[in-house]
A = this chain, B = another copy of it.
Amino acid sequence: MSKKYLIVGGVAGGASTAARLRRLSEEDQIIMFERDPHVSFSNCCLPYHLSGTVENSDSLVLMCPSKFLSQYNINARVNNEVIAINRVKKEVTVKNTLTREEYTENYDKLILSPGAKAIVPPIKGIENVKVFTVRNVVDIDKLNKSVKAMGITNISVIGGGFIGVEVAENLREAGNNVTLIEAMSHIMKPFDYDMAQILHKEMHDHGVNLIVGDKVSAFEKETVILESGKKIEAQAVVMAIGVLPETELAVKAGLEIGETGAIKVDQNYRTSDKDIYAVGDAIEVYHAVAGKTVRLPLAGPAQKQARQAADHIHGRIVRNTGFIGSSVVKCFDYNAASVGLNEEMIQAMNLDIKYEVAKVIPGDKVGLMPACEPLHFKLIFQMPTGKVLGAQAIGRGNVDKRMDVIATAIKFGATVDDLRDLELCYAPPFGTAKDVVNFAGYVATNLLHGEFKQVREKDLRNLVKNGACIIDVREKDEYELSHIVGAKNIPLSELRQRVNEIPKDEPVYLHCRSAQRSYNAVMALQHLGFKNVYNVSGGFMGISFYEYFNDETTGREKVVTDYNFL
């Protein structure tokens, strides 16, 4: 017997559910309601319209209702908002947002995919500025046209998450004067502070006025007032503080809401009502590494949830392996990808996990290749099991490749020994015979198995302040170009001859450019009876990036004497 399925929301999750439902049955009736004028638009591409990378805003709409009908026999109703659910009668009330007419539709199964909405806090004087959000094609069109109409102008983007960063980048690429304001100590929460600093520098280098650790306190006429007292001229303000799940309809219908504030679903994406499913940004999901329920508003997971909900509706067994938050973002010439947990998440979620960090900064391909670039790679793994918990990679090259490898490894419960042993594709234009991931695996297994000890970039400032013995094992010319205040230069190539210059009775901290040569030095010294030697994680490059943006902007005393190598 033919069934009737109603879907609330016609973008990623909704459209995918509809298409999958159709593939599983020809006879069922499928109606998809979208309160905005477009279904199936590319949410993630919206920011790229601002720079003209996606020239035509119409092209952001991938499928129109008529194509849904002709190709999939799916009834897609735009400008139709579902405003109420009657769970007893299994019926929804729909309002046509143009005509204001209301009508009802009954259902066998209802699927909610309403997405998330931009947070717009009630900041004092908000009426004094032109405020924009970036949620759909109408929004981006409005923002783009307004900005273009003003000519090159001053724009403040508030919030340094995915959308904030992408909007800031694309507005800047279009030639505008862009200020990006982030209340936390760094942009891009999927990254730890040390990694985010690389993006801070990139923003800076491309002329974005980046402000971190400061908050908007009020708006005056075309001006953003920060808590620090700073005033930023802004003919337009883009609110990208974050998103909140669209739960209004679910709440009104009495569906259970989880602790995260998103719609609660079971392992089959079913809400507390067995005939109502929910998918996408409006729900909370199980984080497979954290072992906790979280909000994870990402397009990939939404599409997987959609397919699985449709499968379950058709009586199929669903395998819910949870989610790990694999994501990537372009920031001017840099790419930044992450997966699983980072250090700050472990703290923020209060997870009772003991972990260690391996950071490597090798070249992303053979050094002889013209396009070889350093790749900053940070791996977080559990102690004492060595289980991979998460990773972050930032560089000009193929960071998404390395992160997809980690994402795959995490799905299988990989340990750092597994990463060491991975056999990845190699030719000089693509990587190195030992890939970045293998390198991280080597360092991590060495740490796991206690082969050497390390200190982190963040510890360097205090060590320098306290006059610790820091030895720079780079060659003399490298040292002379720029080095850490007070570091002694004993190149690896002279180490064995000059070993008497190294104190045996106090801790010694060794570093080179990327921590690789200094690792060799640490091993040699250990074999020579030094018991208290540490490798500096990330090496000079890691420390320099860690300190760079603060020194430059705060005028704090420099730990690194010069950054000209960056």
| A–B complex contacts, Cβ < 8 Å, 20 sampled | A26-B524, A42-B428, A53-B370, A166-B427, A303-B433, A304-B434, A326-B425, A328-B426, A330-B427, A339-B425, A398-B400, A398-B401, A400-B425, A400-B430, A404-B422, A404-B424, A404-B425, A407-B423, A407-B424, A411-B422
For A520, the chain B residues whose CB sits under 8 A away are: 19, 22-23, 71-72
The answer to whether B407 touches A409, judged by C-beta atoms less than 8 angstroms apart, is no
Q: Mark A488-523, 1 if CB is under 8 A from B, else 0.
A: 000011101000000000000000000001001001
- Shortest A381–chain B CB gap in Å is 16
Give A492's nearest chain B residue, CB to CB: B71
Interface assignment of A566: CB less than 8 Å from any CB of chain B: no
Which chain A residues (26-46) contact chain B, with CB distance < 8 Å? 26-27, 42, 44-45
Which chain A residues (18-77) contact chain B, with CB distance < 8 Å? 19, 22-27, 42, 44-45, 48, 53-54, 59-60, 62, 67, 70-73
Interface assignment of A335: CB less than 8 Å from any CB of chain B: yes
Interface assignment of A360: CB less than 8 Å from any CB of chain B: no
- Shortest A546–chain B CB gap in Å is 24
Q: Mark A297-309, 1 if CB is under 8 A from B, else 0.
A: 0111111100000
Besides A45-B366, A400-B430, A411-B418, 7 new A-B residue pairs in contact (Cβ under 8 A), listed by A number: A22-B524, A26-B524, A42-B428, A44-B426, A60-B368, A328-B427, A412-B414
In order of increasing CB-CB distance, the 6 nearest A-B pairs are A26-B527, A401-B401, A70-B493, A412-B412, A328-B425, A299-B433
Interface assignment of A460: CB less than 8 Å from any CB of chain B: no
Interface assignment of A354: CB less than 8 Å from any CB of chain B: no
The answer to whether B366 touches A44, judged by C-beta atoms less than 8 angstroms apart, is yes
In the bound complex, how far is the Cα of B19 from the Cα of A321, in angstroms? 41
Interface assignment of A191: CB less than 8 Å from any CB of chain B: no
The answer to whether B298 touches A42, judged by C-beta atoms less than 8 angstroms apart, is no
In the bound complex, how far is the Cα of B434 from the Cα of A158, in angstroms? 30
For A70, the chain B residues whose CB sits under 8 A away are: 492-494
For A428, the chain B residues whose CB sits under 8 A away are: 42, 44-45, 48
The answer to whether B300 touches A434, judged by C-beta atoms less than 8 angstroms apart, is yes
The answer to whether A25 touches B527, judged by C-beta atoms less than 8 angstroms apart, is yes
Q: Mark A267-295, 1 if CB is under 8 A from B, else 0.
A: 00000000000000000000000000000
For A369, the chain B residues whose CB sits under 8 A away are: 45, 48, 53-54
Knowing A303-B433, A368-B54 are in contact, say whether A493-B71 is a contact too (CB < 8 A).
Answer: yes
Q: Mark A69-98, 1 if CB is under 8 A from B, else 0.
A: 011110000000000000000000000000
Interface assignment of A403: CB less than 8 Å from any CB of chain B: yes
Which chain A residues (423-450) contact chain B, with CB distance < 8 Å? 423-431, 433-435
The answer to whether B427 touches A326, judged by C-beta atoms less than 8 angstroms apart, is no
What is the total number of residues of chain A having a CB less than 8 Å from a CB of chain B?
88
For A23, the chain B residues whose CB sits under 8 A away are: 520, 523-524
In the bound complex, how far is the Cα of B328 from the Cα of A309, in angstroms? 38
Give A330's nearest chain B residue, CB to CB: B429
In the bound complex, how far is the Cα of B306 from the Cα of A434, in angstroms? 12
For A528, the chain B residues whose CB sits under 8 A away are: 26
For A67, the chain B residues whose CB sits under 8 A away are: 493
In the bound complex, how far is the Cα of B67 from the Cα of A493, in angstroms? 7
Q: Which of A298, A369, A429 has the most CB of B within 10 A?
A: A429
Which chain A residues (317-331) contact chain B, with CB distance < 8 Å? 319, 321, 323-330
Give A525's nearest chain B residue, CB to CB: B26
Question: Pick the contact of A408 from B405, B430, B434 — CB < 8 Å?
Answer: B405
For A523, the chain B residues whose CB sits under 8 A away are: 23-24
Give A497's nearest chain B residue, CB to CB: B70
For A492, the chain B residues whose CB sits under 8 A away are: 70-71
Interface assignment of A266: CB less than 8 Å from any CB of chain B: no
For A435, the chain B residues whose CB sits under 8 A away are: 300, 404
In the bound complex, how far is the Cα of B70 from the Cα of A524, in angstroms? 13
Give A59's nearest chain B residue, CB to CB: B368
For A517, the chain B residues whose CB sits under 8 A away are: 71
For A356, the chain B residues whose CB sits under 8 A away are: none
The answer to whether A426 touches B493, judged by C-beta atoms less than 8 angstroms apart, is no
Interface assignment of A417: CB less than 8 Å from any CB of chain B: yes
Interface assignment of A337: CB less than 8 Å from any CB of chain B: yes
Q: Which of A72, A302, A327, A428 has the most CB of B within 10 A?
A: A428
Interface assignment of A484: CB less than 8 Å from any CB of chain B: no
Q: Which of A62, A329, A407, A433 has the most CB of B within 10 A?
A: A433
Give A528's nearest chain B residue, CB to CB: B26
For A370, the chain B residues whose CB sits under 8 A away are: 53
Knowing A27-B527, A303-B433 are in contact, say whether A426-B298 is a contact too (CB < 8 A).
Answer: yes
The answer to whether B304 touches A368, judged by C-beta atoms less than 8 angstroms apart, is no
- Shortest A26–chain B CB gap in Å is 4
- Shortest A251–chain B CB gap in Å is 28
